[in-house]
């Protein structure tokens, strides 16, 4: 069953937890540039966050929504992106499966690479796990290059440290992809 505004009645509530251990942080990036059945991408992303709990994923910190031109084709609709820190009992592969179920429920169809999408959920980091975990590469191999990921992450956890030693705030400053990314007003 696809999720749409007509069957989504639980608003997202987020516990903002200043005591998150960034060495154990599980970080998920969200993105949308095809509103699908929703009024707009903001509504779709908020509804996706509300769905997290039913998949055993609790949001403990979240960024604001950031807008950026589509990449690599800026003629596509612009993206709305954000980052959340979550708590979950899922292992990394179980979490990826849960995120995939949420994407599917929101009408995500896998097609051409970088095509417009109703919902894009990426596992950015799972604590300090690093490397290829049976096909799942952590941290996300391209996240550090993307301002639309590192900017929102730096907003909520500027001291999060990438395995290369750089902090989220530094990575946001030097990101080469999505340099126009900025908080949406």
pLDDT at 8: 43
Whole-prediction pTM: 0.89
pLDDT at 1: 45
Q: Assess whether 51 carries a catalytic annotation.
A: no
pLDDT at 14: 42
Q: Which of 122, 132, 134, 180 is catalytic?
A: 122
Q: Assess whether 117 carries a catalytic annotation.
A: yes
- Separation CA 149–CA 147 (nearest Å): 5
How does DSSP classify residue 73?
Answer: -
Q: Which of 62, 67, 108, 146 is catalytic?
A: 108
Q: Which of 51, 62, 67, 117 is catalytic?
A: 117
Handedness of CA 71, 127, 61, 98 (dihedral sign): positive
Whether residue 73 contacts residue 116, with contact meaning beta carbons closer than 8 Å, is answered with: no
* pLDDT tens by residue, the chain, 185 residues: 455 554 443 333 344 555 789 999 999 999 999 998 899 999 999 999 999 999 999 999 999 999 999 988 889 999 999 999 999 999 999 999 999 999 999 987 766 666 578 899 999 999 999 999 999 999 999 999 999 999 999 999 999 999 999 999 999 999 999 999 999 98
- Separation CA 65–CA 67 (nearest Å): 7
pLDDT at 12: 37
Q: Assess whether 110 carries a catalytic annotation.
A: no
Q: Assess whether 67 carries a catalytic annotation.
A: no
pLDDT at 118: 87
Closest CA to 102 of 37, 50, 40, 41: 50
Q: Which of 34, 62, 120, 146 is catalytic?
A: 120
């Amino acid at each position: 069953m696809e999720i749409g505004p007509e069957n989504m009645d639980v608003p997202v509530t987020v516990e903002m937890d200043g005591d998150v251990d960034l060495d154990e942080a599980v970080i998920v990036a969200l993105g949308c540039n095809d509103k699908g059945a929703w009024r707009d991408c903001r509504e779709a992303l908020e509804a996706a966050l509300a769905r997290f709990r039913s998949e055993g994923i609790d949001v403990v910190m979240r960024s604001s929504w950031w807008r950026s031109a589509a990449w690599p084709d800026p003629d596509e609709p612009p993206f709305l992106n954000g980052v959340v820190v979550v708590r979950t009992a899922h292992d990394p592969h179980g979490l990826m499966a849960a995120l995939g179920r949420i994407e599917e429920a929101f009408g995500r169809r896998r097609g051409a690479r970088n095509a417009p999408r109703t919902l894009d959920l990426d596992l950015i980091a799972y604590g300090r796990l690093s490397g290829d975990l049976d096909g799942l590469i952590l941290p996300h191999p391209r996240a550090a290059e993307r301002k639309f990921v590192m900017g929102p992450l730096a907003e909520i956890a500027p001291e999060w440290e990438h395995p290369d030693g750089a902090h989220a705030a530094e990575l946001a400053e030097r990101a080469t992809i999505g340099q126009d990314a900025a908080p949406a007003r």
